[in-house]
A and B are shown apart, each in its own frame.
Chain A
Amino acid sequence: MNTRKEPLIPTVGVITDVRLDTPDIKTFRVVTPDGKKAFDHMPGQCAMLSIPGVGEAMFSITSSPTNTEYMEFSIKKCGCVTEWLHQAEVGQNITIRGPYGKPFPVDTEFAGKNLLFIAGGVALAPLRSVINYVRHYKDRYGKIDIVYGARSKEDLLQYREIIEEWSVDEGVTVHLTIDREQEGWDGHVGFVPNYVKELGFDTDKTVILCGPPIMIKFTLAGLTELGFVKDQVYTTLELKMKCAIGKCGRCNVGSKYVCKDGPVFRLDELDELPNEY
């Protein structure tokens, strides 16, 4: 018997709640079979979830570390593993291992700063962990702005939490937008990059940006116009991963392995990598 520790061998997790957030995103609550949190993590870190026989994939942990009871994952239906998860019911076992990757520097670089979160679509999932963490320790941070956009009102992830908790929080300002006019929506309409420019933020902020590549590209251009520089902006990458521990080679970009050296990068760090992510 090989008794060494083995990072590839997962533990069993149980899905205790499934919430349909948007037409194609579900949020899963996961605990160990004895009802505990599987492991501790920091905002921005990820976990490998698998369904034996279907596959294993990396997901960001959307719940905040300040939640000591369970972990949550907001997962969009788009491939084999995610399709399978979307039909899973409460009580279903999966496997889980982690935490993986470098978190957002919430206790160091972010401390004392005004924070501007910008997200599009399902990319709110990794940022929600950070948002709820900094909301929990609000006295450690300055003003918090959140710009979030999706295709339609129905596609806004965690809509209830945003309205019922984030929006009413002192020191937190939420700016929602959807791509097209829609009945029953009296908020802002338009794409995230334009909305950021319209809002015209001061550059006294650290930016946490996540979204589809096209959104990131245009938002960055907008931020640059507003006077932001690259070492003020953080993002989190997503690449194919198998081992999650920097060995299988799949998420290698330049000398970095996104699974262990990322997924969180500051934009000036990304400039040193080949544009292959």
Chain B
Amino acid sequence: MNRLLWIILILIGLVAPFFVYPVFMMKLLCFALFASAFNVLLGYSGLLSFGHAAFFGGASYITGHLVKVSGLTPELGVLGGTVFAALLGYIIGSLAIRRQGIYFAMVTLALAQIVYFIALKAPFTGGEDGLQGIPRGNLFGLIDLNQSYTVGGSPLPLNLYYFVFALFCLGFWIIHRTIHSPFGQVLKAIRENEPRAVSLGYKVERFKLIAFVISAALAGMAGSMKSLVFQLASLTDVSWHTSGEVVLMTLLGGVGTVLGPLVGAFTVVTLQSELSSVGSWITVIIGITFVICVLLFRRGFVGELGRLLKKSL
């Protein structure tokens, strides 16, 4: 049953660009990976990071710079962004895990703000304009990611789409393996009862830090993908709004569920594109969604569904 579900999802992902606007699909994949990475922390370790935009946006700047200025191929650009996010995650993570609970959220928010200031002021980030016109380049120096194929009258950037889809599957697989490993079980134990995990002899700090680094690295990978898709790395990507958005996606879909972040990302990205005509009212709508979600269904869509079906999704 479970295997069948995965096969169906992969098939949907493979044929999606023929039915749905591919850029929308790619945006969705980027944010779905971002939210899934975030969920490793909030859902499986009980740590609420309010600064995940630093990894997402930071990596998108690094990838943009590597590809545009240093002329690296896109896969190396993504690798560079991901490694950068992992290192940044190590630094921010080792500081943030010194405080618990609500302070953890505030520390990550404040540290991410330093990254925001750097992105605003550093010479290579383009300040308010961001990095524009990031080339997509040739994958492994061979496959042109800009090439589109005309299917049924409309040009589809299939090379780029399948590259992004492959990266998403890789990232999601890593998350899946992490959560369902003995390591993931220890994370859950820490989430449920930290003192008990300590008394069982686990080095709680180290587990939290590793989870933080994994989460940051994959959030960074999502950001790198995003900078190739939109050919843009901007201040919005590193701002606290983005940090808040990823919290909302995870919460809305279902904290601590495997599929929740996908559903949440789908909901929020759809909301944003459907309601793009209302302009800045979108912030208000996101805010209202937050409030309703916290007040009425804290388990999120998938969590509530799982409760109805009495099954862990």
Q: Are A and B a genuine interacting pair, yes or no?
A: no
Instruction: Mark A residues whose CB is within 8 Å of B.
Output: none
- B residues in contact (CB < 8 Å) with A: none
